[in-house]
Amino acid sequence: MDTLLHRDALTRFGYALSDSTRTQILLKLRTGPSYPSELAEAIGVSRQILSNHLACLRGCGLVVAVAEGRRSRYELADERIGRALEDLAGLALAVDPACCPDADSEGCC
């Protein structure tokens, strides 16, 4: 049972990171909570696109919305997610810093 839960959790995390917009959202939230309008501006996407990605990240259990009156603030569901992102980025760079210099290049992981 433990391995099934671990597999599902890692699959959700991998799915979330498989899209660069979701990855940018997670990296931005790693530094602290933020409002959707701030996230959209910082990442350079429309509020609708951001909303769709936030819904995905909520569904994956990686972010939570905290109601503040009529607004919602988003933050990582657990502070360990931020540390995991730092560890993953450090590991990817340690393994092969030139792995994906250009996400559109052929042979990119």
Q: Model confidence over 88-107: pLDDT tens digits?
A: 888 876 666 666 655 444 44
Residue 3's pLDDT is what?
81
Single-letter residue type at 20: S
Q: Per-residue pLDDT tens for 51-60?
A: 999 999 999 9
What phi and psi values does residue 18 have, to the nearest 5 degrees? -75, -10
What percentage of residues in the chain have a pLDDT greater than 70?
83
Domain spans of the chain, in order of start: 12-81
pTM above 0.95? no
Please state the separation of Cα 40 from the chain's center in Å: 14
Mean pLDDT across the stretch 25-41? 96
Return the CATH number of the domain spanning residue range 12-81: 1.10.10.10
| Ordered DSSP codes for 66-98 | EEETTEEEEEESSHHHHHHHHHHHHHHHHH-TT
